[in-house]
Amino acid sequence: MPRTLQKQRRPEETRKRLVAAAQELVLERGFSASGVDQICERAGVTKGAFFHHFKSKDEIGIAALGAWAEFGMAAYAEARKAPAKPPLARVHRFFDIMTGFVTDSTSPVTCVVGMMSQELAQANPVLRGVCSGYLGDWTDFAKELLEEAKAAQKPRVDFDAAEAAWFLNALWQGSMLVAKTRQDPHIVIRNLAHARAFIDGLFSGTATLPPRKSPQPRTKRRTK
Amino acid sequence: MPRTLQKQRRPEETRKRLVAAAQELVLERGFSASGVDQICERAGVTKGAFFHHFKSKDEIGIAALGAWAEFGMAAYAEARKAPAKPPLARVHRFFDIMTGFVTDSTSPVTCVVGMMSQELAQANPVLRGVCSGYLGDWTDFAKELLEEAKAAQKPRVDFDAAEAAWFLNALWQGSMLVAKTRQDPHIVIRNLAHARAFIDGLFSGTATLPPRKSPQPRTKRRTK
DNA sequence: CCATACATACCAACCAGTTTGTATGCCTCG
DNA sequence: CGAGGCATACAAACTGGTTGGTATGTATGG
């Protein structure tokens, strides 16, 4: 049947291209609105290749989530390389990394896990479970950073690190959602700044919110 | 063509049933995964009725968003009826109302605006704009409550009411997203409690987070 | 030579939307 | 007051395109 020449076979590469295409489409239109045909078209392969590598659409969803989480956690793990000297240094680095996701990108910052969680949490138990796991991983990481800070410096008011981490996770996801809907990435940056000050305030007890009126939103910004 | 008897005609009722069905389906599976046929089936009408009342699927999406926002804002407006005597009384009432959405419901608390924002913010400019407007309405309401509190009592540290309102909006949306994915509504309740304490702390300067182990659901608030 | 890695064609179900027909209730007008 | 007209409110069948998934082939490389 194949009239055209088959290109050189790069199964690993083909798989990666499919996963990357799926991630892109999910970020743009969500999972259910992303057709298998569209994924194939963007990846430059045919449906035969798709169903050779993934036995269903759900399965590439799982793969997309996994690759996304792996990439993300690798970025967050950089926070561990910050010095431990000021107890909150690594927490601050963590906030810097999240802020960097916004400032280093022209397109709105979004998350495959957040996208698929929103769509599928109630309708697809399997994918819901996968999303739940990755949200938990993120929270565990934040929780550990907070606990290390607590161990290094007793906070002014005791707090539960896990609860604070879930607070940050929800704020992070919600900020991305709101910012892209409002088409204003500064919402994320400001919310992260406030959250950072909030955490700082738990330890230092000085200020809990940046006192000034925050930076101008309107004009396009360029930061790296 | 119609072999069956046509039921009594109640256009207003039919329209409401379609909008309600659309809201339900959007909350369960999202907008793009909700077919017109499914909406009609759940509303108990045929496609002829659907396209008589709405000229496209997008249009019922707009109607669903509008009805949802109207219902929600009516519930939030109850916060205005709280006494103004302690400056933060109405802000506390506002938190009580949100907490009540969680405690008064068996199913996970979700939001049509958040759902459709997530899916359509990048792919559908029209619906994105509608969502953006309703997110703005919510934030304006919260901002006004905070500004009234600021006027009644000078906060310990000055803060921008609009920024704080966007912070709360993102936290609220993100909390619903995370909670349903984790299948743990307490995440929302705890996050709201922490946010409440955060706002309190801006005024009083005492505690910024409830000490350890978080509280159980607050006093039950009436519905509607 | 044979498992792997694809390509192509195809399928039934479903998609949003249209067409066509008819039942209903109100509004004249005699 | 009753007959008839007529816009509204639906029902049902249908259309062209798309959906996830399959069947069947063949090219490739070890």
Q: Which chain B residues are within 8 Å of A167, Cβ to Cβ?
A: 171, 190-191, 194-195
Instruction: Spell out the domains of chain B, with CATH numbers in brackets.
Output: 10-55 (1.10.10.60), 62-224 (1.10.357.10)
Average pLDDT over chain B, rounded to an integer: 91
Tokens in use for B210?
Answer: 């409830």
Closest residue of B to A30, CA-based?
B119
Q: Tell me which chain B residue has its CA closest to the CA of residue A200.
A: B208
Label residue B218 by pLDDT band (50, 70, 90). Answer: very low
Instruction: State the pLDDT confidence band at B211, using cuts at 50, 70 and 90.
Output: very low
From the alpha carbon of A60, which nucleotide's C1' atom is closest?
A: D20
Phi and psi for B41 in degrees, rounded to 5?
Answer: -60, -45
Strand C bases, protein C-beta under 7 A: 4-10, 14-25
Taking a contact as any Cβ pair under 8 Å apart, which residues of chain B between 22 and 51 contact chain A? 27-30, 32-33
Q: What is the mean pLDDT of residues B169-188?
A: 98
Look at A178 and B173 and tell me if their CB atoms are within 8 Å.
yes
Dihedral (CA of A161, A71, A197, A183) sign: negative
pLDDT of residue A85: 84
Residue-level pLDDT at A9:
78
Mean pLDDT, 10 residues at a time, over chain A (224 residues)?
Answer: 60 96 98 98 96 98 98 98 94 98 97 98 98 98 98 95 98 98 98 96 67 44 38
3 state SS of B51: helix
Q: What is the pLDDT of residues B51-70, one digit of tens each?
A: 999 999 999 999 999 999 99
Q: Which range among A50-54, A67-71, B185-189, B212-216 shows the weakest confidence by mean pLDDT?
A: B212-216
Q: How far apart are CA B172 and CA B166, in angstroms?
A: 10
Instruction: Give CA A106 to chain center in angstroms.
Output: 16
pLDDT band at B10 (very low <50, low <70, confident <90, very high): confident
Return d(Cα A83, Cα A90) in angstroms, integer.
Answer: 7
Residue B184 exposed, middle or buried by CB count within 10 Å (0-12, 13-18, 19+)? middle
In degrees, rounded to 5, the angle at the alpha carbon of residue A179 between the alpha carbons of residues A174 and A182 is 125
